[in-house]
Structure 1
Amino acid sequence: MAVPRQLPNTITIVRILFAPVFLWMLLADGGADGPLRWWAAVLFVVAIATDGVDGWIARRYEIVTDLGKLLDPIADKVLTGAAFVGLSILGELPWWITIVVLIREVGITVYRLVVVSDHVLAAAWMGKLKTVAQAVALALALAPLWTVFGDWVFWVNGVTMTIAVLLTIASGIDYVVSEVRGRRTDART
């Protein structure tokens, strides 16, 4: 079966386009735990799952592109950033968490765009782990599971969000350290 060369990038762009729709659904009813909240959570999970799908297709059919390496992490940041901001707007997540995450995400993205003429900075293993942790924490925080399972869900949400934030900070430090080491190695050769 022939796979169109731009299919992974198209899926990535669709993920970016899902972000404002998801955010609207989350905020439209003021954070009520009704159907729009559930649908927002479902859309987020579907959208974030496409991250694995586009990457798998690109690797499986050997159609990995520099554009895809650049767009894929941006799409993740747009979607997860919208979720962090939306939860903070609703008062369900402290703004300081959202600010810390966004500073890391925007900082790494801007750096990637600055060095793109030198080399494409693909996601490292810790960055991928951070994205998975954020996806799980955000999915749990977005779905009003407390209406089904009770208030103990808030404790689970707190633990998963703490892990996601710690991995966000650690992966940001890892990127900086790796780039500094890489530049030093390049300077020596």
Structure 2
Amino acid sequence: MNLPNRITLARICLIPIMMIFLLVDFGFYPDPIVWNGFKLPYNQLIAGLIFILAASTDGIDGYLARKNNMVTNLGKLLDPLADKLLVAAVLISLVEMGKVESWIVVVIISREFAVTGLRQIALLDGAVVAAGNSGKLKTVIQIVAIVALMINNFPFVFFGIPFDQIAIWAAALITIYSGAEYFVKNKHLLRGTGA
């Protein structure tokens, strides 16, 4: 197994660890970080750091694979799967914690399923549906929103700015836009008419 695939597998392995820290209170953490009415339990902080670490490996594996001519079918399968599992796992966890509305998570996850299905249709035709700029922007905004939610809107909470909620709404909107853009640009695949 090459290095890019190992990085991708490591990202997948970090998901349950992150979820354990996010959702399970073992009772042995120090008192939460409390300052001026702000409260951040250490388990959420640790989960947030694990999420940032996992998300930061997203581009590294693909870059290394392309640069060193190490692109494999396993990597083509695992990389998008790892990305979707990471985002879905943390968003579902945040719903359970009451930090995000479930309908927003359904919209985000549904778009991922729909675009994955479109990519499968493209593969049957021997085509590739590459990530566009709106898809890349969607990923960045989702990551920013998730981190803000995981760390209780720090530091914006001190200024009375609901940045975490603004960011998750922005993520939902760009997710809808980028999903629609994928389907509009690739509607010929759905009709089976080729390019």
Question: Normalising by the residue count of structure 2, what TM-score does the alignment of the two structures yield?
Answer: 0.80
* Partners of 2:115 and 2:190 in 1: CA distance: 16
Aligned to 1:180: 187
- Pairing 1:128–2:124 present: no
Contact 1:37 1:142 in 2 (8 A): yes
- Pairing 1:90–2:97 present: yes
Displacement of 1:11: 1.1
* Partners of 1:69 and 1:154 in 2: CA distance: 40
User: Where does structure 1 lack aligned partners over 5 or more consecutive residues?
Assistant: none
* Partners of 2:175 and 2:145 in 1: CA distance: 12
Contact 1:74 1:109 in 2 (8 A): no
The counterpart of 2:19, out of the listed 14, 19, 23, is: 23
> Measured at CA, do residues 16 and 114 of structure 1 come closer, stay the same or move farther in structure 2, by a change above 3 Å?
farther
* Partners of 2:187 and 2:177 in 1: CA distance: 15
Displacement of 1:131: 0.9
Displacement of 1:116: 3.4
Contact 1:70 1:122 in 2 (8 A): no
Between 1:20-29 and 1:82-91, the stretch displaced more is 20-29
C-alpha RMSD of the superposition: 2.6
Per-residue CA distance 1:17-47 (angstroms, 9 max, x = gap): 21122112111129x8321111100000000
Q: Say how many residue pairs are matched.
A: 182
Per-residue CA distance 1:136-178 (angstroms, 9 max, x = gap): 11111112354x6645466111221122111111111111112
* Partners of 2:69 and 2:108 in 1: CA distance: 32
The one-letter code matched in structure 2 to 1:6 is: N
